[in-house]
């Protein structure tokens, strides 16, 4: 009681098993580390880049829990099935998943893109989410329920990026997929929501072809870019018991972009 009066709170992921796809850098890395900070018993980092993923696992283990990296191409169903098998076999359950892996095309007009670029964008951003849900939902249901957060984007709500039509369309599809899945899975004890980052300083943002980042930041209500750790906090909150009555929601972590 005394600790509650002083404002202390129970760690949001105490004793739970978390999974982050695309966990080697950016928002994925920040979320994996935040899971560990919030008391996760185990954090599993999935991605294609071994060295980056292993480094994040080391950072997570430094917080006191278990962590491991599983090399995974999220566009391949056999990789996703293998990933979930490893998680449930080694740790016995899957409580929280952050489906974060994403890909953004090079900035160009729609007539300058080709079918192979379309496939890369939609396979990574949409098909992978479907494949993750397809295997995560049964695993969570078997252990009594769970929470899934999907990384969408403000671009899926309002397209601020001329030249990135495929990325924006894929993120709109992700939001629609999330909402349908959320309605189906809520009665089964699985809450599904999405986070929609805005202008956040990640490798993807820095490679997006924006010439003047300072002018972009100045146009936001907060007058600054976001940091991956700020989005990670939103993800953890959505996956926590504090958001126990929130289902099918898109939480914009965007510095006020959508409100302006």
Active site residues: 167
Using DSSP bridges, classify how beta strands 66-71 and 96-99 pair: parallel, antiparallel or unpaired: unpaired
The answer to whether 218 touches 183, Cβ cutoff 8 Å, is: no
Question: If we measure between CA atoms, which residue out of 185, 201, 82, 194 comes closest to residue 131?
Answer: 82
Tokens of 200: 């956040």
**DSSP β-bridge partners for residue 97:** 19, 148
């Amino acid at each position: 009681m005394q600790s509650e009066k002083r404002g202390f709170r129970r760690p949001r992921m105490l004793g739970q098993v978390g999974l982050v796809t695309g966990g080697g850098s950016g928002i994925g890395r920040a979320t994996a580390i935040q899971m560990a900070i919030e008391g996760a018993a185990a954090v599993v980092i999935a991605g294609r880049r071994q060295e980056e993923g292993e480094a994040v696992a080391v950072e997570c283990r430094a917080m006191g829990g278990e962590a491991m990296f599983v090399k995974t191409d999220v566009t391949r169903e056999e990789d996703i099935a293998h990933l979930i098998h490893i998680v449930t076999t080694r740790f016995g359950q899957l409580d929280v998943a952050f489906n974060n892996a994403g890909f953004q095309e090079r900035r160009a007009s729609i007539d300058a893109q080709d079918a192979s670029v379309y496939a890369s964008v939609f396979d990574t951003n949409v098909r992978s989410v479907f494949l993750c849900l397809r295997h995560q939902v049964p695993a969570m249901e078997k252990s009594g329920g769970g929470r899934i957060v999907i990384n969408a984007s403000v671009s899926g709500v309002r397209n601020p990026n001329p030249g990135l039509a495929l990325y924006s369309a894929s993120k709109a599809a992700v939001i629609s997929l999330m909402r349908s899945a959320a309605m189906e899975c809520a009665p089964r004890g699985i809450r599904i929501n999405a986070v929609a980052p805005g202008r956040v300083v990640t490798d993807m943002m820095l490679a997006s072809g924006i010439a003047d980042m300072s002018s972009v930041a100045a146009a936001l209500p907060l007058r600054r870019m976001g940091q991956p750790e700020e989005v990670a906090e939103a993800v953890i909150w959505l996956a926590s018991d504090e958001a126990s009555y929130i289902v099918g929601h898109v939480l914009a972590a965007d510095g006020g972009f959508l409100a302006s």
